[in-house]
Structure 1
Amino acid sequence: MAKTKVFISFDYDHDEILKIFLVGQAKNEDSPFYLADWSIKEHIDDNWKAKARTRIKSVDVACIICGEHTDTATGVSAEVKIAQEEGVPYFLLNGYSEKTCKKPKAAKDGDSLYNWTWDNLKKLVGGAR
């Protein structure tokens, strides 16, 4: 079975450790996904957005890792908006079980924030949302 190509978006200033955790999970033997190039840490301008759009358009799904400050992370919101515009499915992953995580501003009201467990992650990547 082919693995699902996933783009990950996260708040570089506060949640880089969460990206590292997800990279580790992608390496699990039973992982149904692999990670594409993740977020681009550059000044948000038209060139940055064009690069992000190209990367997002090339994946099967986008995983948006949410932390305490994701609502103020302009890059994460821009990537969510691009996924919406391009029709790329995405899901919001609660990065911390012990903290209040916030959705990016571009998230829709109906977007759920899912608990990050290995079983949930495999289901979400597979389309269960």
Structure 2
Amino acid sequence: MSRKTVFIAFAKEDEARRNLFTGMRVHPKTPFEFTDMAVKQPYASAWKTRVRTRIRRSHGVIALISRSTPRASGQLREIKCAAEEGKPLLGIWLDDGYRTKPAVMGSAPCRLWKWSNIASFIDRLS
């Protein structure tokens, strides 16, 4: 089985939680890897091109959704790009009690941060 690549879209304010989330892949038998684009200048055209390229190369996209997401222009651009590219998309709620899904996610689901939810999404990727 080939390793699956999952792009992670997150707000820069959530970088520490992104690190915890991506720590799940450290076991050598884990059949997936995570990639992302830490946002320095979200509107630079080179950044936009690199984001789209990484998303195209990914099997799917997981968006880490928090109270910071509505103001995270880079993260919202990444989510929009995933939708435009037709990539499977899953939102993961980071904050207890915060359940406002970004409109750019369309009909993509958001789930609680549980291994079973993440594994189910990754298992469906091709």
Query: Structure 1 or 2: larger helix share?
Result: 2
Residue segments in structure 1 that go unaligned for 5+ positions in a row: none
In structure 1, which of residues 112, 115, 118 is the aligned counterpart of residue 115 of structure 2? 118
Written as runs of structure 1 = structure 2, the 5 A alignment for 1:3-42 is: 3-12=3-12, 14-29=13-28, 31-36=30-35, 38-42=36-40
Is 2:83–2:105's contact at 8 Å kept on the other side of the alignment? no
State the secondary structure of the residue aligned to 2:105: coil
Partners of 1:92 and 1:28 in 2: how far apart? Answer: 23
Written as runs of structure 1 = structure 2, the 5 A alignment for 1:1-129 is: 1-12=1-12, 14-29=13-28, 31-36=30-35, 38-43=36-41, 44-96=43-95, 98-108=96-106, 110-127=107-124
User: What is the Cα deviation at residue 58 of structure 1?
Assistant: 0.7
Q: CA RMSD in A?
A: 1.8
User: What is the Cα deviation at residue 107 of structure 1?
Assistant: 1.6
Is 1:62–1:90's contact at 8 Å kept on the other side of the alignment? yes
Residue segments in structure 2 that go unaligned for 5+ positions in a row: none
Give TM-score scaled by structure 1 length: 0.84
State the secondary structure of the residue aligned to 2:124: coil
Change in CA separation of 1:102 and 1:26 when aligned onto 2, cut-off 3 Å: farther
Amino acid in structure 2 at the alignment position of 1:10: F
* Aligned length, in residue pairs: 124
